Amino acid sequence: MSATASVCGDQRIAQAWAVLGTVLDPEVPALSVCDLGIVRELLPQGEAFDSMLEIVLTPTYSGCPATELIERNVLEAIAVAGLGPARVRLQRAPAWTTDWISAEGKRKLRDYGIAPPGPVTAGEAVPVRFISRRTASQPKIACPRCASTDTTQLSAFGSTACKSLYRCLSCLEPFEYFKPI
């Protein structure tokens, strides 16, 4: 690859990352697909600026109903920005984890009124359950509005399967919690 092609390719990749940073998640529109960490890689398939750009996405979970819409929105944003041609490759392994949400994404979740997930330590992840089995060892969830940890779970599932519904017992406001997985 020539030095000119390399610079041109680097510029295209940087522009593509910037564009994808504006593509919002359809289920949590406060976050971009980059904030969520589902954009894994951008891989140019040749030296020319107009060569195929492969965008590697890892869905938040394999049954996520928004995956096809996210794929379309990503390709449309790249096309509108004049950075195509592009294609999406879905990569399900390694599986997405809430640890991939950026620090900025967690701040945006809190600002949006959703308690962000804490870190997931290998071997200590809590599986999604249909029956609450909260124990004293589980961390308290802080209210994104008043920061009180005097909260209670109202429902294991919120507006989507990846969130649960809580209520703050201090300010009495309901809020969603993005489950760590």
Dump pLDDT digits (tens) for 30-71: 999 999 999 999 999 877 667 899 999 999 887 788 899 999
* Statement: residue 180 has pLDDT above 90: no
Who wins on pLDDT, 59 or 1? 59
Q: What is the mean pLDDT of residues 174-180?
A: 90
Rounded to 5 degrees, φ, ψ at 87 are -140, 155
Q: 69 by DSSP, 3-state: which? A: helix
Domain with CATH 3.30.300.130 in the chain: 3-90
- Specify the fold of 3-90: GMP Synthetase; Chain A, domain 3 (3.30.300)
Task: With cut-offs at 50, 70 and 90, classify the pLDDT of residue 20.
Answer: very high
100: pLDDT strictly greater than 70: yes
Predicted pLDDT of residue 120: 67
Q: What pLDDT, on the 0 to 100 scale, is given for residue 122?
A: 63
Highest-scoring range by mean pLDDT, 49-58, 74-83, 92-101: 74-83
pLDDT at 37: 96
Task: Specify the pLDDT at position 125.
Answer: 53
Q: Which residue has the tokens 């962000």?
A: 116
**Over the chain, what is the mean pLDDT?**
85
Give the H/E segment covering residue 15. Answer: helix 3-20
Query: Which pLDDT score, from 0 to 100, does residue 140 have?
Result: 86
User: What does each C-alpha distance from 153 to 21, 27, 65, 86 come to in angstroms?
Assistant: 32, 21, 24, 42
Q: What is the mean predicted confidence (pLDDT) over 91-119?
A: 92
Name the 3-class secondary structure at 178.
strand
Q: How far apart are CA 100 and CA 34, in angstroms?
A: 9
106 phi and psi, to 5 degrees?
-65, -35
